[in-house]
Structure 1
């Protein structure tokens, strides 16, 4: 907890320059999810508002658009299905931490639905994804 706070408590205005093309975790959303877990709810809300200040306007746009997977048989590119599933997980978890009626909540839930829809059908079918994607699908569905 202390290390998470030391590393991230002063972070603000996240640009979310992602994806780079082969990651399966969103650096921006994973940081937010970590802080959701370590901060008291009232403190998290203020931190989250500073970290992603334009979330209600669906900015940064990169967090709201599912990544496109051009070749699911490519072990690196297939990671983008995992990125879409892990984003859905974080978006749902973060939305649940926000009050009903908060515009950020609606934006996150809509994005989570689109990310989940883009990747869920690809959890099975090609070994490059099916041997690990189910884990992230389960996290997203359970959030």
Structure 2
């Protein structure tokens, strides 16, 4: 069996096109069973395999993160140029820690706060002050 054959899901488990951030684990402890894995971006900006799908999407080149159903990202994906630079995050604080900024379309309020605080040289935080335990979800603008 070739390496390519090991990386593909069985035909009965495929459900249309494969997300750009998923791959099939070749090292499953169960013989003959493949485990779906997803490639997410960590707080250090590096990709890592995860058994769970990312809940936030982003663009690697522009360092933008947003909702998975963002209209701007959906349009860009439909045009085809966005897919190769698409990245995924487990949560919003990971995207911020990795140096990504909020999308100006789907996260308009957070984008405007980020833009204002960046202009002022302040600190941008994903969580409001009453939900923050410390500044771990913050980064200097």
Structure richer in strand, relative to its length? 2
Higher helix share: 1
TM-score tier after normalising by the smaller chain length: under 0.3
Higher Cα radius of gyration = 2
Normalised by the length of structure 1, the TM-score is 0.24
**Greater relative contact order: 1 or 2 (C-alpha under 8 angstroms, separation 6 or more)?**
1
